Structure 1
Amino acid sequence: MTTSCPVAADFERRRSFRFVAPVLAFAALSLGSAPVLANDPAAAEALFRVAKGLMEKKNYAEACPKFEGSYKLDPAIGTKLNWADCVEKQGQLARAWALWGEARDQAKREGDKPRADLATRRQKELDPRLPHLTVQVKGSVEGLGVYRDEVKLDPVTFGVPLPVDPGKHVVTLRRGNDVLKEAAVESKEKATDEVTLDATDVPPPPPEQVTQPQTMPGQGDKPKYRIATVRRSTGMLAGGVVLGVVGGIVGLVGAGTVGLSRGGSPGGWATLGVGAVMFGGGIALGVIGNQKIQRKLEVTYMPEVFIGPSSVMVRGVF
């Protein structure tokens, strides 16, 4: 390759292979736990060349993402140096400062002292230009989040001057997606700014709303009863049938007794009368029990299970 890196004299994009064996051995041991970068050197070289052309035209907004993409496809130290230089020229001083540091560490790992020295020098040159922003928070932030722009800050960084890019920054205190407080600051080169958020007067979160059933199933939006046409009494119908059959048998016995005796037997007539009464009563009882009437019937629903934050409830009509 013949591409050069202006920020590193005549250094090319390619990585240093001076210590290939140790690097590969370390990578083999780390495959199970570390993410593996995409490996497409040809695509990386194509992106690098396009980015270089854009840099010459001072089109940093398009060049920087291409350097980044090239580095992700093939993490060559020369690409990292060009990427850092592009971001610095774009005005993102804090990001460039971090990239120069990463490039320095990578060059040291690869045993490339000239590039390590270059990255160290460029990072130090940025030190006096860097804006710093200190975020102070009063009170507890338990259950809350403090964000600088869209970066969530760890509480250990509170009170520490952190490098930021020049420009406007908004610091917010959030609960979930709700912004409770915010403060904005315009950071300029070499400036040190401070923002304080007061969390002492932040109201506690509303109690968790748990919908409790006010009515059992069958009430409210579900009907408790339904109207149906049913037999008045199955028991009366069955009793009437039994009574009628017994009465018929008794009546037949009585009739037989009367027929066998001359002039009729008082006992036979009595038995016949009792059988007739029983037979008639059975018919009447069966007719009444078999009558169709409208009646309210309770509706039975399958049990429903509700799982809350601290309880499990089953409701239904059993």
Structure 2
Amino acid sequence: MRQRLQPPRTRFPTRSASHRQRQALARLLVSVAVASTAIFAQEPIFAAPTAAEIKEARALFQAGLALEAAGDYKNALTKFHEVAAVRPTPQVMFHVALCLEHLGRWTEALGTYRITIDRAREEAAEDVVENADQARQKLEQRMPRLKILRSESMAGAVVHLDGVLIGAASFGVEMPSDPGEHRVVVTVDGKEVFTQVVSLEEGRVETVTITKQTPKAPPPLAPAPKPSPEPNPIAPSQRIGYYFLGGGITSLVIGGMFVKLRNDTIDRLETQCAGNHCPASLESTSDRGKIYMMAANGFVGAGLLSAGIGTVILLQRHETEPAPQSAHTQVGLSAGGPLGAPGATVWGNF
């Protein structure tokens, strides 16, 4: 007998399984709907400014305009920044750019003018678009530009302009920059190999070519100062000679003073005495004259002796060691004391 082949039976989900799937799908849809409702019910991240904030911003804007008209662009810029934090309208951004331009921050001003133009076009503020675009064009014509070139040997160097890293696309391009001095620093493997300070002027283009700088040789050492010639030391014997000579001259001067006193005493006795007879009252005067005479003879004699010894010592010193050409010494001895008194006089030039 032949058996009839039966087709394979296909199992269909039962009614309970299908019911569970529909319930899970319904719960999922409900969850999505609830989540969406919660999300859209939340407040926006950037809430609109309140009426009080708008009122304060308007007051700040008017204050900024007054400061701008007075030429106080620094404080005016501060006011406009505070207004822009509440409502960055194209009008506010235009005055921010204007203040930046007057403060010499031209690159910031140029970028702010461009942002102002885009926002003004979005809000259909044609007057702001026109004013900002005219200011942008004038500033671009005045803008100094810096072009940085690299030699092949410095292709892998890291370049900073005023501390800002310069990308590869900026090399060989005239980059708008603020007027004034700018510093270009190049490093290779963390070591500084090139530094240049460039001064940019309005409307001009300056080019800096980066090359490998050879290390600077240290400056030559300054020659050592020549020692100043030491003065010729005075020998002990020569010093003794000067002592004797000085003491002798001093004694002669004192002796001359006593000779003068003796002569004055003799003149007084001669005027008051008659012949060889003198009054008793002049006896003390006569005694003083004798004392003066003794003192004069003693000092003059001691002075001559001391001066003579000193002269001999100095003459012996000059004979053994010739004196420098600039030195000129003369010593002499002449008969006769000072003021015509008996004795001798020692004279010298040193």
Q: Considering fraction of residues, name the structure with more helix.
A: 2
| TM-score, with length taken from structure 2 | 0.42
Q: Which has the higher contact order (CA 8 A, sep 6+)?
A: 1
| TM-score, with length taken from structure 1 | 0.46
- Please identify the structure whose Cα radius of gyration is greater: 2
